[in-house]
Amino acid sequence: MVHATQNPILTTHIHTLFHPARPNHKPPPRTPHTLKIMPADQVRVLISRDQIAARIAELGHQITADVHADRRAAPQHTGQPRRLVVVPVLTGSIIFLADLIRHIPLKMTIRPVTISSYPGAATTTQGANIHGGIPTDLAGADVIIVDDILDSGKTLGLLRRMIQAQNPATLRIAVLLRKDEATGRRQEQVDVHYVGFEIGDDFVIGYGLDYDGEYRNLPDIGVMG
Ligand code: IMP
Ligand code: MG
């Protein structure tokens, strides 16, 4: 049983929570390697957890710098600071989101949307379906859409149009993966501002990405078969 203890760091300024001094820090024990978690399945690691972690830190720093730069360039005169609203596309972006936002030391709110385009075991796009609506109060906000992967472009194309119609101050898109345009899979051109990794035509799983709803919990990004 692990007991919570009073932690003095919780009384410090919010920014220091992102970069606390960590005397005597020991790294946590590593989970067993992906390939041994699900012994019945053959998975080839395409992008390791360490590569993912390093790249996400870079993306977070870049996003933070860009939001600061935007605000300096176009200060608001309403007396209200501009809101940063992160819009993750569920379910595939959850792990990317969780890691990315911890590298963005700014006040933000998170407003998830649920969009499916790969019902069941399909591995090619079936067109995008939005479930449960999208946030409607994005006017004047700095909005960042976060998704796992840009493939046909239908999901992000649809969501970007719906959010742009609300006149946010800025609208940017971050994806962990982008399938190479040369694969011929892109059906809609979508400007993505932050890309973790470019990949080829593989159908990938892990780190949030699923096949038929499973494998999202693999710590690395892999290819089946
Ligand atoms: P798009 O609308 O075709 O760009 O597809 C985007 C969505 O399809 C992503 O958010 C993923 O959920 C899913 N998807 C596309 N490619 C893959 C893949 O290789 N593995 C798992 N899911 C994928
Ligand atoms: Mg998705």
Q: Which residue has the tokens 């089946």?
A: 224
Residues 6+ apart with CB under 8 A from 194: 59, 62, 63, 172, 173, 174, 175
Q: CB within 6 Å of ligand 1 — which residues?
A: 89, 92, 117-118, 125, 128, 147-155, 203-204, 209-210
Please tell me the predicted confidence (pLDDT) of residue 46: 95
* Pick from 163, 105, 93, 167: nearest CA to 133: 163
pLDDT, tens digit, 9 for 90 and up, residues 105-122 = 999 999 999 987 766 677
Question: How far apart, in whole angstroms, are the C-alpha atoms of residue 206 and residue 215?
Answer: 5
Render 109-154 in DSSP notation, one character per residue: EE--EEEESS-TT--S----EEES---S--TTSEEEEEEEEESSSH
pLDDT at residue 81 tops 70: yes
Angle at 208 between CA 207 and CA 214, to 5 degrees: 105
Active-site amino acid positions: 151
Q: Of the ligands numbered here, which is closest to the C-alpha atom of 149?
A: 1
Domain annotation covers residue 106: yes
What's the rounded mean pLDDT across residues 163-178?
Answer: 97
pLDDT at residue 41 tops 70: no
Domain containing 57 — which CATH number? 3.40.50.2020
pLDDT at residue 35 tops 50: no
Q: How many domains is the chain built from?
A: 1
pLDDT at residue 32 tops 80: no
Question: How many beta carbons lie within 10 A of that of residue 149, not counting itself?
Answer: 22
Domain annotation covers residue 37: no
pLDDT, tens digit, 9 for 90 and up, residues 122-145 = 777 667 888 888 999 999 999 999
Query: Which atom from ligand 1 is nearest to the alpha carbon of 150?
Result: 4
More confident residue, 37 or 166: 166
Domain annotation covers residue 5: no
Predicted TM-score (pTM) of the model is 0.88
Question: How far apart, in whole angstroms, are the C-alpha atoms of residue 14 and residue 76?
Answer: 23
Q: What is the DSSP letter of 11?
A: G
pLDDT, tens digit, 9 for 90 and up, residues 180-224 = 988 888 889 999 999 999 999 999 999 999 998 999 999 999 998
Domain annotation covers residue 163: yes
Domain region containing 161: 50-118+127-224
